[in-house]
Amino acid sequence: MDRKDASTDHAPGAGAHDWDPEQYRYHAGPRLRPLYDLLARVPELPSPRPRIADLGCGPGGPTVLLAERWPTASITGYDLSEAMLSEARAYAGPLPGGGHLDFVHADLADWRPGHPHDLIISNAALHWVIPAGGKGRVIPAGGKGRVIPAGDGRAAERHAELLHRWVAALNPGGFLAFQIPGNFTAPSHTLLAELRTSPRWRDRLGEGATRVPVAEPAEYAALLAGLGCETDVWETTYVHVLTGEDPVLEWTRGTALRPVLTALDDDPAARDAFLAEYRDLLRAAYPPGPHGTLFPFRRIFAVARRPG
């Protein structure tokens, strides 16, 4: 199976301007590294023919890695983006070990499985999701004129409902595993937020993600332990060496910039002007070196086992 599209960090939302799978693949190698590191910490599952859910599957590449690790499993990838799912479904079908892989349209904010699972995994999607019915429910980032859901300082509280629901959907001895970006105070994000709130752009683009939409590792560890789980929570800062012209801009075009591109979709001149301003800020914050552009990227990981 081809892993070229096994990249991460997309929002599981869709809307008038859906996610671009081709842009999403940009720098696929560095984007994929956290998933390998997450999977390395997931032990053997309690069933020889496990049921696995991949929440926020994107264009299918990350889910293919699950199928390679557990070829006897029944694996379903869930996403709200039809553009992503249209590519992911090319991988659907029987697996060599007797398992099966398929992909289903779903909103992770209110996803509820019909059967208990042995593994629920979410790769770079939780930070986009607020539970249905919760205060400040997420508007899909692809929606026309809407923006990334800004954190309100209560990310742990908002995500507690989701984690409780997902842990409850595990078989005894099953695992919940997720990784999320933890770099929302990095220049790539703070410069974007500052530009959006500048006099030229604030009326058009709003405040955007001016606050952090994720909790700290210790908060997730406490939440999961409070649900009775054995927990393994950690963080890693990768120092990616990116190549190409304006590589950090190209990275963000596939993720954090998507709401801006959507909001300015009907005004190409304004879109190009915003990108030029943001590009210049990124060039100063991440200057290219003789071997490439260094791009530090913090991520938060968690693997939790339901007792049983």
In tens, the pLDDT along 112-148 reads: 988 999 999 999 999 888 655 444 333 333 322 223 3
Predicted model pTM? 0.84
Please say whether the beta carbons of 23 and 254 come within 8 A.
Answer: yes
Tell me the two tokens of residue 152.
């309100």
Provide the pLDDT for residue 130: 66
pLDDT per position as a tens digit, 48-59:
999 999 999 988
**Regarding predicted confidence, which is higher, 115 or 16?**
115
What values do phi and psi take at 230, rounded to 5? -80, 130
Place of tokens 């990981």: 301
pLDDT tier for residue 3 given thresholds of 50, 70 and 90: very low
pLDDT of residue 207: 60
Q: Identify the pLDDT of residue 9.
A: 52
Taking all residues of the chain, what is their mean pLDDT, rounded to a whole number? 84
Supply 104's token pair: 């289903």
**Distance between CA atoms of residues 35 and 20, nearest Å:** 20
- Reported as a single tens digit per residue, the pLDDT across 140-193 is 333 222 233 334 457 888 899 999 999 999 999 999 999 999 999 999 999 999
Considering only CA atoms, which of 105, 141, 150 is closest in space to residue 265? 141
Residue 246: left if φ>0, alpha if ψ -120 to 50, beta else—which one?
left
How much is the CA Rg of the chain, to the nearest whole Å? 19
